[in-house]
């Protein structure tokens, strides 16, 4: 409460946030016929749609600034004694734009008026920020698959597409990371960390319909001090408002697989196209309630989607393996009941003859559960991977609407309010259908309210107040009833907590729940309930004084997260190459063999006993001076302070693991605060930039700034509410082939409840807590910081054309190291024979201990070329080409946002220098182009503009987007792990061999070069036992394939009567049916070096290595639309 009172006091004193977050600034420069500036001229700036005007007089430099103007088209009127009136129309002001309109006055009588039609220059002579405005015409005309307007953010330079769960944000930009983008809608917080039923990274809380978005801007480098909570990019959008004229639209867009082309996978498999049906329908309406005073806008969109099948390939056990015949594995299978200590002190065993497990040794529960898993239906007979085509029906329903009312209270006071509603429901049957396939139901429900009040105290002093509230429910619920009933009837030992679905069965060679897999997992339809509430209050004050425009403000946000989940996957049964291997036969054994015999290596599950109720507050304040030093030179000088409070639980549930004491600590006890973690109060962020207008066609710009980013909320929730005592672990400890003789338990062994005492006094090396612990460095919780800098040159050779070249760089520091396992042993421990559970740094914890440090860094450099033609004469065009490099170190970022999931955990916690390399989101080159062209014949066009023929040929328009990018980096793994409790290893590189197959030989069946890698060797321990070595390959040494995609649309617009038009549209996505092959899952055999012996090639015992046929983009899709516009 004390903190909130302090923040409220500062808010009132500072008159808080951004000066043009959802609006723009227009400066009117008045000159006489000789070019001399004119002071004291009377200026009126009028919005053409609403008729609302802003008035004032020019200062001693002939300028009048109108801040906080809504995006739209304006007319500027100027009067001065001894001169003719001037009326300049057609001035387009964009969102978050600072534009200048030059007005030349002519001598004459005041009663005379000079009419001028002008356009605002594309040159930015006011700021140093880099970015891209996506205006309304692009949003409405360009082909958009799924009609997601914000997907057009990828038209901006210096952006990279983002993949993976936990976010629906289309891109990362400016050298930032997965939590680096700030999203604003009508100036209020539109961020969420709840997506698709998971607490993830920054995403979009609400995505309005295409027909509702006025325009948006993506800022990618050195934005002004008014923008906080962003260390990379800001996306800033506005919803449409009403006008003096009634306007609106009705639409329906239809997609059907009958119009589509087959994609590569289904076509190569000889399968027909998967069924697909989608209808998107709705409309919008806006107009006056009271002309020139009160206006309304509302819209609705519904989406109904039905698909018959997915298009990816999985792996299931063939029939022969299910019967116990494992000869196809081409490796010896040893009898777990014959395990014993050999002469070298290691565990050895006796193999099953011919790798055949007798039928009476197959566990009955294993056979019963496996009976629910379908047999292979894809590929050649006997294939062990990529042998199951995952086809299953999907449904998706969504409804959303917006209501906005704008009101001009007085000539000096305007306000608006908006309410938005969005519901999405997506049942997902899972990999195989039913509970065994991990089926779930996911929902995303959003409610958002926004309010804005702009007050003009006098023409040079304007204030803007904003408030917003967003509630988002993103939850997943598994198939609880059928899955639990079957598990009980099969005799599966269940975890002692209320289950919400069938547990998950996994096949990891490591036996530790991470690393390379043999088959797809079974079951495990996750259940997560996640609710998020965001409260946002902000205020901005703009003061113009002489050559200075001062902006000052503050921004206060309160975030509340409610989470309840059972993880991992209602309990997790992990099988590895543990009990069917022998230390004198490296590479022997198999997870499927351990499964058939019923011997898991790890059983674990956690259950939150109560809702996690996390609370945190953000406060930001700033000051900026835009100083017009000379008519040509503008300096942007400012600074910002950001305060992020450490999260607390509303009822002090949960806890964090103390890496100093090896115990969990709970909030508010034993000298710890409610947050436990120390706060970071040192987030000062200076910003500076310049814009120098060399002449009216050339501007040179440059800037530097420090930007404070947001924390990883996914880790916070896992760390805090997801830890003891609120979320105790129920488990049977992990076992290891090198340290366990006879199997200690089976699938049928009852699972005891895990103690929840935070001191962990009930655990020791012989009875260790088996779980992965995520925690924080209590005294090292600095906020991520990014230093951005840029230099650009803009050239406007003629009206409506802009050429820009820019260099931008970013240096990240204090970034979170999210995946460093401090419970790993150093490699020397294995050599010395000190690699037992009792030798680990935390012997009472049998799992990874992963604190979040603030010690990682990144380095980003990019060069961009942009060519833009603003819409005129029936044509618009945008071209952006970016060459970039993004490096990071110390396990700085998770791989969840790479194309194939990446590898997040560090290779060796004792040698973090090995982590330096390309960031998971590093894409070397990106080229994007959009265009729109109204064909030049028909009424109102240059050619064939009369008669009946003109009506047939007229009104046609073509539009398109071409997007080309390089590949994403990825690790190449090996399944051979050093016996030091790590879960990841890389192979050796072979000198002189390229990672990829030469281009003339490269294809989806032959992409990565197996000769480029070798299985790493071993070294003897002091007892003579072979110890697996680390490979010498670099992190993310390989790159996947690039992508080429062309989307195209053509439509005809017919005029029914003066203000009524009909559009007939056809849109083609992936016009040329070009396949883009995605990287296989990072732990799949395609990405894993599995050789028989040290020094073997990666495909020696793994014919699937280097193949890319797991998944691909869809084939060409065609969408038809009918739209009525009035």
C-alpha angle 286/290/296, rounded to 5°? Answer: 25
Joined tokens for residue 14: 């500072």
pLDDT score, position 5: 41
CA–CA distance from 199 to each of 168, 956, 1079 (Å)? 12, 46, 25
Could you report the per-residue pLDDT of 850-860, keeping only the tens digit for each?
888 888 899 99
How many angstroms separate the CA atoms of 272 and 261, rounded? Answer: 10
* DSSP one-letter string for 269-289: TTPPPPPEEEEEEEEEEEEEE
For residue 67 the two structure tokens come to: 């801040």
Provide the pLDDT for residue 200: 60
> If you ran DSSP here, which 8-state letter would residue 998 be given?
P
The answer, yes or no, to whether residue 2 has pLDDT greater than 50, is no
Q: Categorize the per-residue pLDDT at 899 as very low, low, confident or very high, splitting at 50, 70 and 90.
A: low
If we measure between CA atoms, which residue out of 403, 413, 298, 410 comes closest to residue 68?
A: 413
Chain-centre distance for alpha carbon 772: 24
Q: Tell me the pLDDT tens digit for each residue of 828-846.
A: 998 998 888 899 999 999 8
Distance of CA 775 to the CA centre of its chain: 23
Which among 785, 897, 893, 786 is positioned nearest to 160, based on CA atoms? Answer: 897
Give the residues across from 190 on adjacent strands: none
Domain ranges of the chain: 2-117
Bridge partner list, 482: none
Exposed / middle / buried, residue 678 (Cβ in 10 Å: 0-12, 13-18, 19+)? middle
- Residue closest to 588 by CA, chosen among 382, 836, 329, 339: 329
Mean per-residue pLDDT over the chain, rounded: 86
Q: What's the mean pLDDT in 1099-1104?
A: 84
pLDDT band at 11 (very low <50, low <70, confident <90, very high): very low
Distance of CA 191 to the CA centre of its chain: 11
Cis amide bond preceding 288, omega within 30: no
| 445: nearest Cα among 283, 210, 281, 206 | 206
Q: Write down the pLDDT at residue 715.
A: 59
> Over 80: is that where the pLDDT of 328 sits?
yes
CB 499 within 8 A of CB 486: no
Q: What is the DSSP letter of 229?
A: S
Give residue 368's pLDDT: 95
Pick from 366-370, 682-686, 941-945: least confident:
941-945
Cα separation, 136 vs 116, whole angstroms: 24
Compute φ and ψ for 288, nearest 5 degrees: -90, 145
The residues, ordered by sequence, that sit 6+ positions from 404 with a Cβ below 8 Å of its Cβ are: 239, 240, 241, 242, 296, 297, 298, 416, 417, 418, 419
Q: Output the CA–CA distances (angstroms, integers) from residue 939 to 432, 951, 1054, 1064, in the order listed.
A: 57, 7, 10, 17
* Residue 484, pLDDT above cutoff 90: no
Q: Does residue 1011 surpass a pLDDT of 80? A: yes
Tokens of 783: 């906020």
Contacts of 825 (CB under 8 A, 6+ apart): 834, 835, 839, 840, 841, 980, 981
| Of the candidate ranges 307-321, 420-434, 849-863, the one whose mean pLDDT is the lowest | 307-321
Say what the pLDDT of residue 304 is.
96
pLDDT score at 13: 39
pLDDT of residue 307: 82
Contact at 8 Å (CB) between 1021 and 1027? yes
Distance of CA 268 to the CA centre of its chain: 31
Kindly list the distances between the CA atom of residue 457 and the CA atoms of 22, 25, 454, in Å, as whole numbers in the listed order. Answer: 20, 17, 10
Is residue 1050 within 8 Å of 956, Cβ to Cβ? yes
| Phi, psi of 521, deg, nearest 5 | -70, 160
Least confident of 79-83, 180-184, 337-341, 701-705: 79-83
Q: CATH topology for 2-117?
A: Immunoglobulin-like (2.60.40)
pLDDT band at 9 (very low <50, low <70, confident <90, very high): very low
The backbone torsions φ and ψ at residue 972, rounded to the nearest 5 degrees and listed phi first, read -105, 125
Tell me the C-alpha distance between 983 and 1103, whole Å: 23
Which H or E element spans position 926? strand 925-934
SS3 181: strand
Structure tokens at 1005: 């069946």
85: pLDDT confidence band, cut at 50, 70 and 90? Answer: confident
Note whether 604 and 585 are within 8 A (CB).
Answer: no
Where helices occur in 224-341 by DSSP H, the ranges are 264-268, 319-322
Residue 740 has pLDDT above 80, yes or no: no
Other Cβ atoms less than 10 A from the Cβ of 2: the count is: 6
For 102-114, b/e burial (b = at least 16 CB within 10 A) is bbbbeeeeeeeeb
Query: Once rounded to an integer, what is the mean pLDDT over residues 181-190?
Result: 94
- What is the DSSP pairing of strand 698-708 with strand 684-695? antiparallel
Give the residue, 531 or 752, on which the prediction is more confident: 531
> Which of 619-623, 629-633, 1081-1085 bottoms out in mean pLDDT, i.e. has the lowest?
1081-1085
pLDDT surpassing 60 at residue 376: yes
Q: What percent of the chain has pLDDT over 90?
A: 45
167 pLDDT exceeds 50?
Answer: yes
CB 964 within 8 A of CB 926: yes
Percentage of residues in the chain having pLDDT higher than 70? 90
Q: By C-alpha distance, which of 1030, 1005, 1015, 1029 is closest to 1086?
A: 1005
CB 490 within 8 A of CB 365: yes
954: its two tokens: 């007229």
3-state secondary structure of 371: coil
* Whether pTM exceeds 0.85: no
Q: What angle do CA 460, 463, 467 make, to 5 degrees?
A: 165
Sort strands 729-732 and 602-607 into parallel, antiparallel or unpaired: antiparallel
| Close Cβ partners of 240 (under 8 Å, ≥ 6 residues apart) | 212, 213, 214, 284, 286, 297, 299, 404
Are the C-beta atoms of 866 and 803 separated by less than 8 Å?
yes
d(CA 184, CA 235): 6
Q: Is 1027 left (phi over 0), alpha (psi -120 to 50) or beta?
A: beta
Cα distance between residue 245 and residue 242, in whole Å: 8
- Whether 87 contacts 114, CB under 8 Å: yes
Each residue's pLDDT tens digit, 237-285: 999 999 999 999 999 999 999 999 988 877 877 778 878 899 999 999 9
SS3 336: helix
Q: What is the mean pLDDT of residues 1113-1124?
A: 92
Q: Phi first, then psi: give them for residue 525, nearest 5 degrees.
A: -60, 110
Question: Two tokens at 464?
Answer: 């803007």
Q: Is residue 902 very low, low, confident or very high in pLDDT (cuts 50, 70, 90)? A: low
For residue 1078, give every residue at least 6 positions away whose Cβ sits within 8 Å of its Cβ, in sequence order, or none.
Answer: 899, 900, 1040, 1108, 1110, 1111, 1112, 1113
Secondary structure E strands in 696-770: 698-708, 729-732
Over range 765-778, report the average pLDDT.
Answer: 82
Closest CA to 1123 of 147, 73, 48, 94: 147
């Amino acid at each position: 409460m004390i903190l909130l009172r302090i923040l409220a006091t500062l808010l009132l004193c500072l008159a808080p946030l951004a000066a043009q977050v959802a609006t723009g600034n227009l400066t009117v420069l008045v000159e006489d016929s000789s070019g001399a500036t004119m002071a004291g001229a009377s200026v009126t700036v009028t919005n053409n749609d609403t008729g609302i005007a802003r008035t004032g007089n020019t200062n001693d430099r002939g300028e009048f600034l109108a801040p906080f103007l809504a995006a739209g088209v304006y007319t500027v009127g100027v009067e001065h004694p001894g001169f003719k009136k001037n009326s300049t129309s057609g001035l387009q002001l964009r969102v978050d734009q600072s534009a200048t309109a030059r007005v030349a006055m002519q001598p004459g009588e005041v009663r005379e008026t000079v009419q001028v039609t002008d356009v605002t220059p594309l040159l930015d002579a006011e700021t140093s920020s880099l970015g891209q405005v996506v205006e309304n015409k692009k949003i409405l005309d360009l082909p958009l698959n799924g009609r997601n307007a914000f997907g057009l953010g990828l038209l901006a330079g210096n952006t990279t597409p983002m993949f993976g769960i936990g976010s629906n944000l289309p891109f990362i930009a400016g050298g930032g990371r997965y939590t680096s983008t700030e999203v604003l809608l009508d100036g209020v917080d539109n961020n969420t960390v709840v997506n698709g039923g998971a607490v993830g990274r920054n995403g979009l809380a609400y995505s309005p319909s295409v027909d509702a978005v006025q325009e948006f801007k993506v800022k990618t480098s050195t934005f002004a001090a008014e923008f906080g909570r962003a260390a990379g990019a800001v996306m800033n959008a506005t919803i449409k408002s009403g006008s003096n004229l009634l306007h609106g639209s009705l639409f329906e867009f239809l997609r059907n697989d009958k119009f589509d082309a087959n994609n590569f996978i289904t076509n190569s498999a000889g399968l027909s196209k998967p069924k697909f049906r989608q209808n998107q329908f709705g409309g919008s309406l806006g107009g006056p309630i009271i002309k020139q005073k009160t206006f309304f806008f509302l819209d609705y969109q519904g989406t109904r989607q039905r698909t018959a099948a997915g298009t990816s390939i999985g792996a299931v056990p063939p029939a022969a393996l299910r019967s116990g015949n494992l000869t196809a594995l081409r490796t010896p299978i040893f009898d777990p009941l014959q395990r014993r200590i050999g002469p070298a002190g290691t565990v050895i065993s006796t193999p099953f003859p011919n790798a055949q497990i007798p039928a009476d040794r197959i566990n009955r529960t294993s056979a019963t559960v496996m009976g629910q898993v379908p047999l292979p239906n894809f590929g050649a007979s006997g294939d062990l991977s990529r042998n199951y085509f995952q086809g299953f029906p999907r449904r998706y329903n969504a409804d959303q609407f917006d209501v906005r009312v704008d009101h001009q209270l007085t000539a000096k006071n305007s306000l608006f309010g908006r309410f938005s509603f969005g519901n999405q429901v997506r049942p997902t049957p899972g990999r195989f259908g039913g509970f065994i396939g991990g089926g779930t139901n996911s929902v995303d429900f959003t409610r958002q309210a926004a309010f804005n009040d702009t007050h003009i105290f006098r023409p040079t002093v304007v204030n803007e107040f904003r408030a917003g509230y967003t509630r988002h429910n993103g939850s997943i619920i598994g198939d609880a009833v059928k899955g639990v009933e079957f598990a009980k009837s099969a005799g599966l030992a269940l975890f002692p907590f209320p289950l919400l679905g069938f547990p998950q069965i996994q096949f990891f060679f490591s036996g530790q729940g991470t690393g390379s897999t043999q088959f797809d997992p079974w079951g495990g339809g996750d259940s997560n309930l996640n609710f998020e509430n965001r409260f946002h209050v902000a205020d901005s004050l703009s003061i113009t004084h002489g050559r200075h425009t001062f902006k000052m403000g503050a921004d206060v946000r309160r975030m509340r997260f409610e989470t309840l989940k059972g993880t991992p996957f209602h309990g997790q049964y992990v099988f590895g190459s543990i009990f069917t291997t022998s230390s004198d036969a490296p590479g022997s054994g198999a997870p499927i063999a351990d499964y058939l015999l019923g011997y898991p290596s790890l059983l674990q599950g956690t259950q939150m006993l109560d809702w996690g109720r996390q609370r945190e507050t953000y406060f930001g304040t700033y000051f900026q001076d835009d100083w017009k030093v000379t008519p040509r030179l503008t300096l942007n000088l400012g600074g910002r302070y950001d305060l992020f409070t450490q999260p607390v639980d509303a009822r002090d549930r949960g806890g964090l693991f103390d890496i100093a004491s090896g115990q969990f600590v709970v909030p508010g006890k034993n000298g710890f605060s409610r947050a436990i973690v120390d706060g970071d109060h040192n987030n000062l962020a200076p910003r500076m930039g310049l814009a120098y207008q060399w002449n009216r066609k050339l501007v040179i710009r440059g800037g530097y700034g420090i930007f404070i980013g947001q924390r990883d909320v996914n880790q916070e929730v896992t760390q805090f509410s997801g830890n003891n005592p609120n979320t105790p672990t129920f488990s049977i400890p992990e076992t290891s082939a090198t340290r366990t003789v006879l199997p200690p338990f089976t699938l049928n062994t009852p699972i005891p409840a895990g103690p929840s005492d935070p001191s962990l006094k009930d655990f020791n090396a012989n009875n260790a807590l088996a779980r992965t612990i995520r925690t924080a460095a209590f005294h090292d919780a600095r906020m991520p910081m990014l230093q951005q800098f840029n230099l650009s040159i803009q050239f406007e050779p003629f009206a409506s054309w802009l050429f820009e070249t820019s260099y931008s760089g970013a240096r990240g520091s204090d970034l979170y190291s999210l995946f460093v396992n401090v419970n790993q042993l150093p490699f020397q421990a294995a050599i010395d024979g000190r690699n037992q559970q009792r030798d680990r740094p935390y012997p009472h914890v049998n799992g990874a201990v992963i604190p979040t440090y603030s010690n990682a860094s990144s380095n980003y450099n990019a060069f961009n070329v942009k060519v833009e033609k603003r819409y005129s004469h029936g044509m618009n065009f945008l071209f952006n080409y970016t060459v970039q490099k993004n490096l990071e170190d110390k396990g700085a970022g998770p791989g969840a946002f790479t194309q194939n999931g990446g590898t997040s955990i560090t290779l060796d916690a004792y040698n973090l220098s090995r982590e330096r390399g390309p960031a998971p989101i590093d894409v070397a080159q990106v080229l994007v182009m959009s265009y729109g062209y109204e064909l030049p014949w028909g009424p109102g066009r240059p050619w064939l503009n009369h008669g009946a023929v003109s009506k047939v040929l007229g009104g046609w328009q073509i539009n398109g987007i071409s997007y080309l990018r390089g590949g994403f980096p990825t690790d190449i793994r090996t399944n051979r792990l050093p016996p030091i409790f790590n879960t990841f290893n890389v192979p050796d590189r072979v000198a002189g061999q390229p990672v990829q197959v030469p281009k003339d030989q490269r294809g989806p069946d032959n992409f990565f070069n197996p000769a480029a890698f070798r299985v790493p060797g071993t070294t003897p321990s002091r007892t003579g036992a072979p110890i697996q070595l680390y490979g010498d390959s670099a992190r993310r040494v390989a790159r996947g394939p690039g992508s080429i995609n062309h989307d195209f649309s053509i439509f005809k617009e017919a005029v029914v009567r003066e203000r009524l038009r009909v559009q007939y549209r056809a849109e083609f996505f992936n016009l040329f049916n070009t396949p883009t092959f995605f990287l296989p899952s990072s732990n799949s055999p395609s990405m894993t070096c599995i050789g028989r012996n040290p020094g073997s090639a990666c495909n020696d015992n793994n014919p699937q290595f280097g193949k890319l046929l797991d998944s691909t983009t869809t084939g060409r899709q065609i969408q038809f639309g009918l739209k009525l516009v009035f």
